[in-house]
């Protein structure tokens, strides 16, 4: 037993640490309405502390002062260093100036929360990059089997699954009778499941894993695919199929046939699930009219099989397109420094509480060009390094999600998983 615990939680074990932190972000460890927020703060502090410890350890090993270490890195990466300086300067100016314009306590809380979420994105990624021991990968995969096995369990027997989910943040979705695993809503879980599925498919087809882990990766991929489909989020469903399309494009002919078979099986499952589950059928029926007609026993016409893609650009209050237009209107007021992190939520006046639901637009309107431009350059350089790896389909999947949701500013589990994946696969 001691050997098992040591293999999971021993530092430095990147995968074991990821599994541990993930559990604390989705399990209701502390009671009360603010229990998980307190635990989220503890995870944030633990991540920042461990990163600081690893960086200090590296500095001591190199026998360099922080200034000398920075100069050495700046000399090897001048463009990255310049962008980081501009990013930090722009962010400090945006937060500092906009903090004086916040009129309500909630506005200040949202600003601090957004800043903490983006800081967590960088700190968790760099922490996992510093921890190169992958001895706990099988345990991390086993955790994913459990997370994505729950939606399948919910499909078979919802009531018994609900008894378990009472102890996770997923309990909030049970009141709506929707399937979202251990997550609080379907719009968080389905994109998460799509990214995990594409990641495991990419690794499986690339043949980078050997032994038991390879079979568990396939199990995770299949279960995550089912979860992404049955949850009922159109963003998750779209991201899954876009990721599979990119994966199909990258592989040789023999493997293309297998990816096509996976996509076809997912498409058939989507239709079966849509006819079985009310929430999923409603969402899919908005895009594919034939699903809505089949559920209502109405006669089908040829035009019913043509997707209706006008919904996403609807002028309806709260739609994605309307939010982006509104956000760009706010951005024009303060193009350089933005309106302040978290402040779109305060100014939008929408009943649908949340952000712009588009990561680039969200950062542009809230932080301004002084942050957006260097961040865009850093992101482009960061992603360019993965162009020829098995992470290419994952990158496109995350990008697709980011065009319709901003999970980076309110889902620690999402941030942890993206950081972990890129840190594991990224070139040195």
Please compute the mean of the pLDDT values over residues 343-369 and round it to a whole number.
84
pLDDT at 44: 93
Q: Please state the φ and ψ torsions of residue 184, each to the nearest 5 degrees.
A: -75, -20
Q: Which domain holds residue 215?
A: 137-311
Does residue 54 belong to any structural domain of this protein?
no
pLDDT at 296: 77
Does residue 55 belong to any structural domain of this protein?
no
pLDDT band, very low/low/confident/very high, at 64 (cuts 50, 70, 90)? confident
Q: Tell me the two tokens of residue 164.
A: 């378990």
Distance between CA atoms of 313 and 324, rounded to whole angstroms?
10
* Cβ atoms < 10 Å from Cβ of 61: 8
Q: Which residue has the tokens 């002062």?
A: 65
pLDDT digits (tens, 9 = 90+) for 340-354: 998 898 888 765 566
Q: Taking a C-beta distance cutoff of 8 angstroms, is the pair 275, 295 a contact?
A: yes
Does residue 85 belong to any structural domain of this protein?
no
pLDDT digits (tens, 9 = 90+) for 139-165: 899 999 999 999 888 888 877 887 788
The C-alpha torsion from 117 through 121 and 126 to 128, rounded to 10°, is: 110
Look at residue 175 and tell me whether its pLDDT is greater than 70: no
Does residue 368 belong to any structural domain of this protein?
no
Q: Taking a C-beta distance cutoff of 8 angstroms, is the pair 395, 379 a contact?
A: no
Kindly report the three-state secondary structure assignment for every residue of the chain.
Answer: CHHHHHHHHCCCCHHHHHHHHHHHHHECCCCCCCHHHHHHHHHHHHHHHHHHHHHHHHHHHHCCCHHHHHHHHHHHCHHHHHHHHHHHHHHHHHHHHHHCCCCCHHHHHHHHHHHHHHHHHHHHHHHHHHCCCCCCHHHHHHHHHHHHHHHHHHHHCHHHHHHHHCCECCHHHHCCCCCCCCCCCHHHHHHHHHHHHHHHHHHHHHCCCCCHHHHHHHHHHHHHHHHHHHCCCHHHHHHHHHHHHHHHHHCCHHHHHHHHHHHHHHHHHHHHHHHHCHHHHHHHHHHCHHHHHHHCCCCCCHHHHCCCCCHHHCCCCCCHHHHHHHHHHHHHHCCCCCCCCCCHHHHCCCCCCCCCCCHHHHHHHHHCHHHHHHHHHHHHHHHHCCCCCCCHHHHHHHHHHHCCCCHHHCCHHHHHHHHHHHHHHCCC
pLDDT at 11: 58
Distance between CA atoms of 114 and 98, rounded to whole angstroms?
13
Which burial class, exposed, middle or buried, applies to 101 when counting CB atoms under 10 A from its CB (0-12, 13-18, 19+)? exposed
CA angle 358, 88, 359 (to 5 degrees): 5
**Of 338, 272, 333, whose CA–CA distance to 91 is shortest?**
338
Please compute the mean of the pLDDT values over residues 224-235 and round it to a whole number.
91
pLDDT at 329: 92
pLDDT digits (tens, 9 = 90+) for 273-322: 888 877 788 888 878 888 887 777 788 777 777 777 665 555 566 678 88
* Count of structural domains, the chain: 1
CA distances in angstroms from 307 to 284, 285, 289, 304, 312, listed in the order given:
10, 9, 7, 8, 12
Does residue 269 belong to any structural domain of this protein?
yes
Please compute the mean of the pLDDT values over residues 14-43 and round it to a whole number.
83
Q: Tell me the two tokens of residue 120.
A: 């967590």
pLDDT above 70: percentage of residues in the chain: 90
Please compute the mean of the pLDDT values over residues 19-36 and round it to a whole number.
80
pLDDT at 318: 63
pLDDT band, very low/low/confident/very high, at 219 (cuts 50, 70, 90)? very high
Does residue 318 belong to any structural domain of this protein?
no
Does residue 32 belong to any structural domain of this protein?
no
Handedness of CA 44, 45, 46, 51 (dihedral sign): positive
Arithmetic mean of pLDDT over the chain: 85
Q: Taking a C-beta distance cutoff of 8 angstroms, is the pair 195, 210 a contact?
A: no
> Prior bond to 12 cis, omega within 30?
yes
Does residue 251 belong to any structural domain of this protein?
yes
pLDDT digits (tens, 9 = 90+) for 384-395: 888 878 888 999
Contacts of 189 (CB under 8 A, 6+ apart): 151, 170, 180, 181, 183, 227, 231, 233, 236
Distance between CA atoms of 326 and 290, rounded to whole angstroms?
33
């Amino acid at each position: 037993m001691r050997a098992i615990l040591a293999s999971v939680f021993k530092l430095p074990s990147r995968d074991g640490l990821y599994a541990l932190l993930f559990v604390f972000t989705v399990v209701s460890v502390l009671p009360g309405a603010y229990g998980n927020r307190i635990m989220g703060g503890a995870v944030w502090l633990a991540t920042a502390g461990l990163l600081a410890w690893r960086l200090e350890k590296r500095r001591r090993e190199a026998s360099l002062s922080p200034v000398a270490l920075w100069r050495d890195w700046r000399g090897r990466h001048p463009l990255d260093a310049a962008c980081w300086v501009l990013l930090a300067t722009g962010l400090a100016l945006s937060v500092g100036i906009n903090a004086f314009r916040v009129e309500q306590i909630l506005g200040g809380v949202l600003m601090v929360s957004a800043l903490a979420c983006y800081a967590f994105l960088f700190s968790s990624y760099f922490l996992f990059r510093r921890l190169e021991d992958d001895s706990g990968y099988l345990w991390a995969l086993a955790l994913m089997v459990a997370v994505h096995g729950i939606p399948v369990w919910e499909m078979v027997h919802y009531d018994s699954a609900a008894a378990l989910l009472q102890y996770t943040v997923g309990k909030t979705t049970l009141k709506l009778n929707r399937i979202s695993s251990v997550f609080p809503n379907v719009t968080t879980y389905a994109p998460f499941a799509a990214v995990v599925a594409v990641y495991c498919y990419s690794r499986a087809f690339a043949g980078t894993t050997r032994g038991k882990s390879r079979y568990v990766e396939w199990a995770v991929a299949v279960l995550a695919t089912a979860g992404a489909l049955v949850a009922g989020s159109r963003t998750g469903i779209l991201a899954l199929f876009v990721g599979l399309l990119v994966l199909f494009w990258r592989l040789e002919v023999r493997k293309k046939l297998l990816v096509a078979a996976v996509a076809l099986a997912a498409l058939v499952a989507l239709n079966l699930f849509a006819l079985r589950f009310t929430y999923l059928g409603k969402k899919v029926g908005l895009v594919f009219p034939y699903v809505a007609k089949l559920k209502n026993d109405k006669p089908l016409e040829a035009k019913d099989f043509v997707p209706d893609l006008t919904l996403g650009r609807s002028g309806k209050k709260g739609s994605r397109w309307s939010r982006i237009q509104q956000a760009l209107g706010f951005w024009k007021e303060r193009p350089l420094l933005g309106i302040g992190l978290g402040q779109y939520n305060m100014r939008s006046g929408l009943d649908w509480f949340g952000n712009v639901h588009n990561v680039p637009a969200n950062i542009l309107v809230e932080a301004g060009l002084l942050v957006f431009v260097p961040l865009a350059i850093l992101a482009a350089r960061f992603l360019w390094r993965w162009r020829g790896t098995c992470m290419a389909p994952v990158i496109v999947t995350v990008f697709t999600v980011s065009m319709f949701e901003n999970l980076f500013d309110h889902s620690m589990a999402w941030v942890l998983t993206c950081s972990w994946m890129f840190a594991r696969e990224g070139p040195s």
